[in-house]
Amino acid sequence: MTMSCEALNVAIVGATGAVGEEFLNVLDERNFPIGKLTLLASARSAGKTITFKGTTHTVEELTETSFKNIDIALFSAGGGISKKFAPIAVESGAVVIDNSSAFRMADGIPLVVPEVNPEAVKEAGIEVGNPGVGIIANPNCSTIIMLMAVNPLHKVAGVKRMVVSTYQAASGAGAAAMRELELQTREVLEEKPVTTEIFPFQYAFNLFSHNSDMKPNGYNQEELKMVHETHKIWNQFNGDQSAITATCIRVPVMRAHAESINLEFENPITEEQAIAALDKAPGVSIINDRDSNTFPTPLDATGKDDVYVGRIRRDISRDDNRGLDLFVCGDQVRKGAALNAVQIAELLVR
Ligand code: A2P
């Protein structure tokens, strides 16, 4: 059944979190056709009120019966909650768009960046009103931001090898981590001992290797997500993981991630061709002014939908036109999470 701009009943799981709040902003700004809106969080938040489009909604505790008559459920309450409740929501007839990593690499679950592989939703047979199918996974924020910049170049010249280093904001670790960064910043300036409840390290005026699980091969989970998710989204390289490598670092920035990306291509691509491809890519903006040394910053990207690309330059370690370096910034909460999920939901409306 194809829904053509019919109002849909939407549930938000994790409505009180950093991404949950942004789901509401993005749904509002993009005028998503919402019938009934159900806001779900933990028992701690039950009874809190949130205003959406001038109407006050009461947050309800997430339970197994929360998904009756829901068409689309946007999940952002952590992997454990998704694992338990996404199948229940699907069983109740909802399409789940899941922001956690719980289902990203599962067979048959599409992993979607709408500008890169929108066809994956249809290929999986997922439609509103088709009960029992399915879950759509929202990729990791760093993967989304990277692919927004790299995919337009990949289409022109074919990426053979990619080396990425990230500079990731506090928002990726949730609202509590953002509060801790702010608190620690005050504490350092006031020469007080710093509170370390979310991260085991001082975060303010510091940086550290990403806090996700460290694997025996020396990669942390965030780095492996960037590698494996990109392979799945591009559906290529025949599982050859040597083509992408990543180093993920947390920096004391509030909510936009930055990434330094080195690319090796199958075919030649000049700086001019790269700029032309990025210039016409939807969702990408270029800030690349060498004369004034002006390039993207996390603050440029904060609160914005676009991913910003700059430092676009030929890799001088190569003597041909098959290497490029880029610097990319994208709002982790928006394109890295809520906006991408709502754009996926829009694929279901059309
Ligand atoms: P709550 O505010 O009631 O704890 P963030 O990623 O910014 O930390 O947000 C996490 C979101 O997930 C919040 O909305 C949080 O709700 C929600 N959440 C956490 N634990 C549960 C749970 N057991 N059941 C439902 N929602 C949960």
Half-sphere exposure of 303 (CA within 13 A, CB side): 2
Residue 260 CB less than 6 A away from ligand 1: no
Give the CATH number of domain 8-138+337-349.
3.40.50.720
Closest atom of ligand 1 to 18 CA is: 7
- Quote the pTM value: 0.95
Phi, then psi, of 201 in degrees rounded to 5:
-120, 160
Bridge partners (DSSP) of residue 167 are 249, 258
CA of 14 to the centre of ligand 1 (A): 5
Q: Which mutation among 12, 13, 16, 38 tests ligand 1's pocket best, with the greatest number of atoms within 8 A of CB?
A: 16
The model's confidence at residue 238, banded by pLDDT at 50, 70 and 90, is low
**Where do the CATH 3.40.50.720 domains begin and end in the chain?**
8-138+337-349
In the predicted model, what is the mean pLDDT of residues 122-148? 92
Compute the 3-state secondary structure of the chain and give helix, strand, coil in percent, each to the nearest 5.
35, 25, 40
N residues, the chain = 350
CB atoms within 10 A of CB 298: 21
Q: Can you give the pLDDT at residue 2?
A: 40
The model's confidence at residue 26, banded by pLDDT at 50, 70 and 90, is very high
Please tell me whether residue 332 adopts helix, strand or coil conformation: coil
In the predicted model, what is the mean pLDDT of residues 141-148? 98
Residue 20 CB less than 6 A away from ligand 1: yes
Residues 6+ apart with CB under 8 A from 171: 18, 177, 178, 254, 255, 332, 333
Q: Is the dihedral of CA 274, 280, 284, 286 positive or negative?
A: positive
Please tell me whether residue 82 adopts helix, strand or coil conformation: helix
**Where do the CATH 3.30.360.10 domains begin and end in the chain?**
142-332
In the predicted model, what is the mean pLDDT of residues 342-350? 93
Nearest to 164 by CA among 281, 268, 261, 282: 261
Q: What is the pLDDT of residues 172-196, one digit of tens each?
A: 999 999 999 999 999 999 999 999 9
Please tell me whether residue 345 adopts helix, strand or coil conformation: helix
Q: How far apart are the first and last CA of the chain?
A: 11
Bridge partners (DSSP) of residue 333 are none
Please tell me whether residue 9 adopts helix, strand or coil conformation: strand
Q: Can you give the pLDDT at residue 107?
A: 93
When mean pLDDT is compared across 217-226, 237-246, 259-268, 320-329, the lowest value belongs to 237-246
**Mean confidence (pLDDT) of the chain:** 95
Q: Can you give the pLDDT at residue 236?
A: 65
pLDDT at 4 > cutoff 60: no
CA of 76 to the centre of ligand 1 (A): 8
CA of 10 to the centre of ligand 1 (A): 17
In the predicted model, what is the mean pLDDT of residues 18-40? 97
Give the CATH number of domain 142-332.
3.30.360.10
In the predicted model, what is the mean pLDDT of residues 287-305? 98
Portion of the chain with pLDDT greater than 90, in percent: 94
Instruction: Measure Cα distances from 90 to 73, 93, 106 in Å.
Output: 9, 5, 16
Nearest to 37 by CA among 70, 65, 76, 62: 70
Q: Which mutation among 39, 67, 81, 178 tests ligand 1's pocket best, with the greatest number of atoms within 8 A of CB?
A: 81
Nearest to 347 by CA among 70, 102, 140, 110: 110
In this structure, the residue with its CA closest to atom 16 of ligand 1 is 41
CB atoms within 10 A of CB 194: 17
Q: Can you give the pLDDT at residue 332?
A: 96
Bridge partners (DSSP) of residue 263 are 162, 324
Please tell me whether residue 252 adopts helix, strand or coil conformation: coil
